[in-house]
Amino acid sequence: MCAAQTNDSPDALQNLAKNNFCAATPAAGAALVTFISFTKLQQKLDQKPEAKHWNAQHLPANRNVLHGVYTTSENATIGEGSVVKFAAWLMKLRPGHTESCNCNVDGDEMNDMHLVLISSSDRENTRECTSVTAEISPHFRPDNGTAMPY
């Protein structure tokens, strides 16, 4: 954690969640999620009255509201911090940018990569607004890599 993020502010709590690389895999294994799972997860969150006020400047003060939000068709309850497995096609890579979860350090070596994932191999005819984005953290960059190839 960065020196400036030693409190329990909503931003600091979000950064703790983003940097949690040690989430325990349930005994049943990682939960299988699909594009439908992400749609349902968002719908469940949108039903929470407090969610209409959430944005980048107004984060939930208690991250527990984001845990165990949706139960999949395979009876796995998922939310923030859940270990999941997800199969998709890579539409494109997007460079990340300076973020507080990476201590606001400038430079490619501290930026993450955004993987734009889609449900079919038809990249030319798939709208990005139907995608799911995953991030590769700079914490796990190869030792011999300084800048990520975009």
Q: What is the pLDDT of residues 137-147, one digit of tens each?
A: 766 555 554 55
19: alpha, beta or left, given left = phi > 0 and alpha = psi -120 to 50?
alpha
Smallest Cα–Cα separation from 41: which of 16, 65, 13?
65
Smallest Cα–Cα separation from 109: which of 96, 127, 123?
96
On the question of pLDDT at 42 being above 70, the answer is yes
| Whole-structure pTM value | 0.74
**CA-CA-CA-CA torsion for 70, 38, 85, 77, nearest 10 degrees?**
0
Tokens coding 113: 């990569």
Tokens coding 78: 């998922």
CA atoms within 13 A on the CB side of 42: 7
What is the mean predicted confidence (pLDDT) over 23-42? 91
Q: How far is CA 27 from CA 31, 66, 77, 79, in A?
A: 10, 21, 13, 17
On the question of pLDDT at 22 being above 60, the answer is yes
Provide the mean pLDDT of the chain: 81
| 76: number of Cβ within 10 Å | 19
148 falls in which pLDDT band (50, 70, 90)? very low
Evaluate whether 89 touches 117 at the Cβ level (below 8 Å).
Answer: yes
120 falls in which pLDDT band (50, 70, 90)? very high
pLDDT for position 18: 75
Tokens coding 114: 């955004």
104 falls in which pLDDT band (50, 70, 90)? low
Tokens coding 21: 């690389």
